[in-house]
Chain A
């Protein structure tokens, strides 16, 4: 059988302020009809550029310097835009990362699907409408007749991605490129969308290229995997062999850094010292550091974001708060940090109620420095006008009334070095730092005033796996060195299991399950926890069972 798509020695470069920058240094791969290829790699590896080059959707600054793209036996490397337009959508189509921004907000679902159909086929409006309904049924949308007339804003993220899939397969293309199709979605939604995608492509004999940073996802849904690093395909092969016997050091590093069902923090180790410098011994028998009693938060419209939540955290303990979007975990973390007021219940910190102080006045409370927070997006959480030094010095200036001088500099340097941030980066502004460095600034800022409790709101969600591994080890070390209690808010159960002694699972603002992490992980009691666990895509280098069960089904 001939190849459906063949890419040979493809080189792409972009013209920038600093001259031409090469994004792809000669990559090649081939795909037959009905095959699924996973392209994995970290940010900046060139995986999205590859897909855009294949679709010939590179923007003005980017151009194909050399190489060939052959699709259905036709060289499309230099094809004209008119010819490409008939190809795109009809023979190859693409699903983008953020479904909401890829859909036109002012047109209904039906109109958008009909647009795609009528752009490529001579078909009557009523026939197109009938087919749109069929497509919505095919992507398993409930009440398809009603959803046809919905606008994208009225649909959930998972629903929008289903509509995108319906549009992508409207003209039965031979090739589907999915660029991080489930990155913004919850794990259970991710599983549903990916199962659907795998089922549809298998059933219709479509080839698929899945671009993802998630090795588990690629392992579960792809027959072949290509690993990209800095514009090169460093390794390529069938999924099972690639995961069982990775040859390239980068692949090995990537696999090691990805948390799995069995991995421990030490497994992810690559260079960062794992063992704490010194472990503080705590006298046993002290009361809880943090105690939540029937905490309630109601938003306008009688939405109970946090509904009767109780749990406690011992000094130096670590608790994972797990749930999907809308579970109230972020609201809860802000309640505990006393950034917002609660509507009922009590929060006891070191034996003292802190919920009585209004959130507006909490900045004056001596407890303010004891509870610190690390935010989800390291970029968004740093003031663009502060240097890294000022970011870390800020809580010291505000909470400990420190003036500029040797004492302040010492404390900032101490916090930075404990967070593993090189001193020469302290004079830089956030936009001059990488994602991992910004995460370290955020952590250094939070530990600078020497808090007793650190709330971590998805601190690694925006980071690449290799950086995530390093940051997780850093957090674990800090906790042990300082006897610092940590409340780890996350949607990623694998990460929480490695870092936390205890676990609280939230759904719709309520606690559905709580207990020691190991026990919850081994033997989940609630159906919701089980579905969360099942939904996490895994790869297991030692598994003998075929990995492609779902795609075949």
Chain B
């Protein structure tokens, strides 16, 4: 067996070990994996066209034909939830990915170099954090235009301060570590010390932040749609579905709100539970 193959099996065994010792993480990982699969194969999983209306069957309660019932236009809610998973996950993952990459690099350099760069970026982050973040996201979407890429940008921007601060603090405590000096003696520039040494070491701690933020980003995107600033109807999106369904809750048509709300809640819950396990999996020091 080659060295690389040994490495792979030991990684797989390590992941299994973590999951076995931590059933909550195992459930969260399974749930997340299921969500991702649903998002990828959404077009093949929807029994009905998610935007085709069928007024004859409007507001039908859940039954064998429509598992989650239909909405006011007779659209199948189950199909819409499945289709929306793809959009919501896409928004959350790209937004969080964007703020993670930018935040880790900016924060990493601030923490490593310190000095004027650190002070200026630090004050900028303070200003950003002084805004009520949801209002900031609303303002950004309103100013940039009501399109999906702008929702992603707005969500990324309001997440950014946390990543900058986190990466800065984590890199700062490690910048005088012996292995940082050792890397420089081995011919690494400051740039490669930050990118190839410090940031990978900070990653396990940031994984927790990422998974918590994914849940939060989904809520945020749904929230923007809920108040009409996000994805526009008739595109299926959990936030819009909750917003539209809310009108019918008083007349006892609970399924319009309950099922998209449940999907939203479960997704956020899975991501939140994933965090600690993800850190253990990513940290080689946990492999004993």
CA distance A376 to B176 in the complex (A): 13
The digit string for B169-204, where 1 denotes a CB below 8 A from any CB of A, is 000000001110111111111100000010011000
Q: Is the CB–CB distance between B182 and A385 below 8 Å?
A: no
B167 → A minimal CB distance (Å): 16
Find out whether the CB atom of A384 lies under 8 angstroms from the CB atom of B182: no
What 0/1 pattern do residues 197 to 240 of B give for CB contact below 8 A with A?
A: 10011000000000000000000000000000000000000000
A380–B187 CB distance below 8 A: no
Q: Which one of A372, A384, A399 lies within 8 Å of B201 (CB-CB)?
A: A384
A368 at interface, CB cutoff 8 A: yes
* Chain B residue at minimum C-beta to C-beta distance from A371: B185
Question: Could you tell me the distance between the alpha carbons of A472 and B120 in the complex, rounded to whole angstroms?
Answer: 48
A334 within 8 A of B: yes
Of B6, B177, B187, B284, which is within 8 A of A363 by CB? Answer: B187
Specify which chain B residues have a CB less than 8 angstroms from the CB of A382 in the assembled complex.
Answer: 178-179, 182
Q: Does B64 contact A (CB under 8 A)?
A: no
Contact of A398 with B186 in the complex, beta carbons under 8 Å:
yes
A383 within 8 A of B: yes
In the complex, A431→B287 CA distance in Å? 9
Distance between B78 CB and nearest chain A CB, rounded to angstroms: 44
Check B288 against A363 for contact (C-beta < 8 Å): no
Report the interface size for chain B: residues with CB under 8 A from the other chain: 23
Chain B contacts for A395, CB-based, 8 A? 185-187
Interface flags, A429-469, vs B, CB<8A=1, else 0: 10110000000001001100100000000000000000000
Please state if A429 and B187 are interface contacts (CB–CB under 8 Å): no
User: In the complex the two chains form, is B284's CB within 8 Å of A380's CB?
Assistant: no
- B190 contacts A360, CB within 8 Å? yes
Q: Assess whether B3 is in contact with A427, with CB atoms less than 8 Å apart.
A: yes
Q: Which residues of A contact B184 (CB under 8 A)?
A: 339, 363
With an 8 A cutoff between CB atoms, is B123 at the interface? no
Complex CA–CA separation, A398 to B189 (angstroms)? 10
Chain A residues with CB under 8 A of B3: 389, 427
Q: Does A477 contact B (CB under 8 A)?
A: no
| Pairwise interchain contact B187-A432, C-beta atoms closer than 8 A | no
**Given the complex of chains A and B, what is the CA–CA distance between A272 and B177 in angstroms?**
31
Q: Is the CB of A429 within 8 A of B186?
A: no
- CB of B116 within 8 A of chain A? no
A304 at the interface (CB under 8 A from B): no
Q: Does B285 contact A (CB under 8 A)?
A: yes
Shortest CB distance B6–A (Å): 7
* Count, chain A residues at interface, CB 8 A: 33
Minimal Cβ-Cβ distance residue in B for A337: B185
Find A399's partner among B179, B186, B197 (CB 8 Å cutoff): B186
Q: In the complex, what distance in Å separates the CA atom of A372 from the CA atom of B284?
A: 27
Tell me the complex Cα distance, A474–B189, Å.
31
Please tell me if the beta carbons of A339 and B188 are within 8 angstroms of each other in the complex: no
| Chain B residue with the shortest CB-CB distance to A369 | B187
B284–A368 touching, CB < 8 Å: no
Q: Which residues of B contact A398 (CB under 8 A)?
A: 186-188
A513, CB-defined interface residue at 8 Å? no
**A189 sits at the interface (CB 8 A):** no
Interface residues of A in 350-367 (CB under 8 A from B): 360, 363-364
* Contacting pair A399 B182 (CB below 8 A): no
| Complex partner residue of B178 from A364, A375, A399, CB under 8 angstroms | A375
A293 within 8 A of B: no
Contact A383:B197 (CB < 8 A) given known A375-B181, A399-B187:
yes
Q: Contacts of A263 on B, CB cut-off 8 Å?
A: none
Query: B178 touching A431 by the CB < 8 A rule?
Result: no
Q: How far is the CB of B281 from chain A (nearest CB, A)?
A: 13
- Provide the bound-state CA to CA distance between A371 and B285, in Å: 31
Q: Which residue of A lies closest to B187 (CB)?
A: A398
Known contacts A384-B284, A385-B284, A363 near B189 by CB under 8 Å? yes
Query: With A363-B189, A369-B187, A398-B188 in contact, is A385–B181 under 8 Å at CB?
Result: no
Task: Return the chain A residue nearest B286 by Cβ.
Answer: A431
Given the interface pairs A334-B181, A339-B181, A375-B181, the reply to whether A384 lies near B285 with Cβ below 8 Å is yes
Query: What A residues does B285 contact at CB under 8 A?
Result: 384, 429, 431
List chain B residues, Cβ under 8 A from A427.
3, 6-7
What B residues does A371 contact at CB under 8 A? Answer: 185
Question: What residue of chain A has the Cβ atom nearest to residue B178's Cβ?
Answer: A381
Select which of B7, B177, B186, B201 is within 8 A of A385 by beta carbon.
B201
A442–B182 Cα gap in the complex (Å)? Answer: 9
User: Do the beta carbons of A429 and B179 come within 8 Å of each other?
Assistant: no
Most chain-A Cβ atoms within 10 A of its Cβ — which of B6, B183, B184, B288? B184
Q: Tell me the complex Cα distance, A161–B189, Å.
A: 41
User: Measured between alpha carbons, how far is A22 from B91 in the docked complex, in Å?
Assistant: 54
A330-349 interface with B by 8 A CB criterion = 334, 337, 339
Q: Name the residue on B nearest A395 (C-beta).
A: B186
- B178 and A376 within 8 A (CB): yes
Interface residues of A in 377-406 (CB under 8 A from B): 377, 380-385, 389, 394-395, 398-399
Given contacts A427-B6, A429-B284, contact A383 B179 (CB under 8 A): yes
In the complex formed, the residue of A with least CB distance to B7 is A427
CB distance from B162 to the nearest CB of A (A): 23
Question: Is residue A373 within 8 Å, beta carbon to beta carbon, of the partner chain?
Answer: yes
- Scoring A337, A363, A395, A449 by chain B CB atoms within 10 A of each residue's CB, the highest score goes to A363
**The one of B7, B182, B197, B288 that contacts A373, using a Cβ cutoff of 8 Å:** B182
The distance in angstroms between the C-alpha atoms of A383 and B188, with both chains bound, is: 13
B87 shortest CB reach to chain A, Å: 35
Q: A383-B197, A427-B6, A429-B285 are in contact. Are A377 and B178 (CB under 8 A)?
A: yes
Cβ B186 vs Cβ A394 within 8 A? yes
Chain A residues, CB < 8 A from B6? 427
Distance (whole angstroms) from the CB of A221 to the closest CB of chain B: 33
CB-CB nearest in chain A for B190:
A360
* Cα distance, A194 to B182, chains bound together (Å): 36
Tell me how far the C-beta of A405 lies from the nearest C-beta in chain B, rounded to whole angstroms. 12
Contacts A/B (CB < 8 Å), 13 sampled: A339-B184, A363-B187, A373-B185, A375-B181, A381-B182, A382-B182, A384-B201, A385-B201, A394-B186, A427-B7, A429-B285, A431-B285, A446-B185
Apart from A363-B188, A399-B187: 12 A-B pairs, beta carbons within 8 A: A368-B185, A369-B187, A373-B182, A375-B178, A375-B182, A380-B177, A381-B177, A382-B182, A383-B179, A385-B201, A395-B187, A429-B287
**Which 3 interchain pairs have the tightest Cβ spacing?**
A381-B178, A398-B187, A380-B178
